[in-house]
Structure 1
Amino acid sequence: MVDAVTRRFEHFLSWTVGALVELVNLYLADAESDHRLCPELGPYIRYGVSDPSALSLMMQGLRSWRLAHEIAQQIPEDDQPGGTDPREWLATMTISEWRQRFTASTSEILDLLGLTRTRHRSLLRNLLENTTTRIDINLENSVPDTNADPLSLAPVPGSPEPAPIGIFSGTRLIGTVRSADHADVSTILDTGLELDFDLIGASLAISAPDQ
């Protein structure tokens, strides 16, 4: 039943409606009419959403219909289409906020991390080419005194997977990696490279000393 419904509605019906809408709009343009059918009607049918923000998120890789609806309902009016990209609004939040605000599951969190990742950038490449790369972090409170204890990056203990990546001074949590940088920083940590960290204000320098 699922396969049959998917073929008929997600593929055939949405494609047919999209083609029909395009033909009708061409006819209206030739007739010099100011009226147009919604060009995105086909994608709206395919993804099962009715909000431009939800459609944008689904077309950019979000797989959860429920989560797309929930995010679209909570986006402030100032961040609606025509203004800020909904991904930018999501990137201002932490993983914990996503869980609390949207009741996001593990798979949904992973999708959001992919969506909010800074595009056309590789922190690992910057690190390997320049031996240092820098990111802004979310500080827990004011700028901490990190002179006494060495800094380290690690998943925050006790957090469900995928856990936020914390910045620790000794054993004390002083901040977390931003959602937009989470995937890139995870890739760096997975390499097993020996890393040094230097915190200046809310800016963290990650360095790989010569091996």
Structure 2
Amino acid sequence: MSIVKKILIADDEPDILEIIQYNLQAEGFEVTTAKNGNEAIEKAKRTLPDLIILDIMMPGKTGMEVCNLLRQQPAFKNTLIIFLTALSDESTEVKGLESGADDYLTKPISPKVLVSKVNALFRRFSNDTPKVLKVGDLEIDREKYMINFKGTDIVLARKEFELLSLLAGKPGKVFLRNEILNTIWGTEVIVGDRTIDVHIRKIRQKLDLDCISTVKGVGYKFEV
């Protein structure tokens, strides 16, 4: 029998708390809620959740302060943390991921998409999934969202990181465009093929290495 995953949601908007709680409970998760940052820390210590969903702009302590404080404690080293916030600028997203979050989602988001993201995160960090992927001179830390290439740390945006992690996870495998779109962006989000091309180009530029090959008319593959 599978163990029920515990999730803590912290948000100062009661309607959002209620909607998220309802949908996650319907998916079979055990859900606890908090209305501010201080309450989130107190309930996290008491319930030891497997995943925490944090709003950033909360009274008491902000979501980032909560994340930073929890990450300093051994009990929360492997706890998954998602920021769910109305702040959509790239600099805040980067700060959020650097503070120790595993994902960064912006409001508004449909409950179905959020549940899908939560399930995907649990799958990604399941016990049989290596936290650090090493391919040649490239090291991908899936837990810390960090890239290191030949001893140099490289900063990638979240979707760039997820795309590189997907391709590098199976070197030589050709990933179809639809497969990439569904895995990285999900079936609930409508994006075009051009989106993949742009992200691939940015990854190539930041790594300064053409490690991702284009299979014309089919998709992409990672080559060591």
TM surpasses 0.5: no
Q: Determine which structure has the larger strand proportion and give its number.
A: 2
TM-score by length of 2: 0.29
TM-score by length of 1: 0.31
Bigger Rg, structure 1 or 2:
1
Name the structure, 1 or 2, with higher relative contact order (CA <8 Å, separation 6+): 1
Q: Determine which structure has the larger helix proportion and give its number.
A: 1
